[in-house]
Amino acid sequence: MKNIVLSSVVVALLVFSGCSSKEIAMDVKKSETTQAPAQEVKAVATETVASEESIVNSDTNALGHMSMSDIEAELPAIYFGFDKFEIDSQMQTKITKAAELGKTGASQYNVKLEGNCDEWGSDEYNFALGLKRTDAVKKALVAEGIEESRISMVSYGESNPVCEDKTQECYAKNRRVDFKLLP
């Protein structure tokens, strides 16, 4: 008799406490204050260059007669660990190399840092992580002597993969910051 009563109580509790089909109500103001503050994005400045100013003097290029694309090909990608935006010592040496190129052959160009992520995480999370990665590289370049005004940042999140296989090696290749030169 005790087993029947106990079983009935358990079944009744399960029935009344089962999954609800109602949507969860959230206090929007409360959730906004608990989230990390959004980073402010500066407006993109445009400028017009006169045709006589657009010709690049080859004497100003300290790396010889290398074109912008040749210099860009020399700039290494900076890779990050899963869910990380800190720069490790191996990648710091690559940033030092990029800064040297930025001070010599690429001194007349601006640098765009492109943050990328693997496919894990939401779109919003990956865009924010890509921005954190570009910010870390920007700070490292400024510490190496590159003018902050020459550096712009963009995050592509997971939308710009270099590898699409479903392997750990492939995911690692997508967690990166790429350098692009701008005239």
Is residue 142, in this structure, part of any structural domain at all? yes
- Over residues 161-170, the pLDDT tens digits come to 999 999 999 9
Is residue 87, in this structure, part of any structural domain at all? yes
Distance CA 132, CA 48 (A): 31
Model confidence at 153: pLDDT above 70: yes
Q: Residue 40 — very low, low, confident or very high, per pLDDT cuts 50/70/90?
A: low
Total domains in the fold of the chain: 1
Task: Using a pLDDT cut of 90, give the percent of the chain over it.
Answer: 56
Is residue 59, in this structure, part of any structural domain at all? no
CATH label of the domain that carries residue 100? 3.30.1330.60
Distance CA 36, CA 6 (A): 48
- Over residues 67-124, the pLDDT tens digits come to 888 999 999 999 999 999 999 999 999 999 999 998 988 889 999 999 999 999 999 9
Q: Tell me which residue range forms the domain holding 136.
A: 80-183
Is residue 85, in this structure, part of any structural domain at all? yes
* Closest by CA position to 156, among listed 181, 123, 122: 123
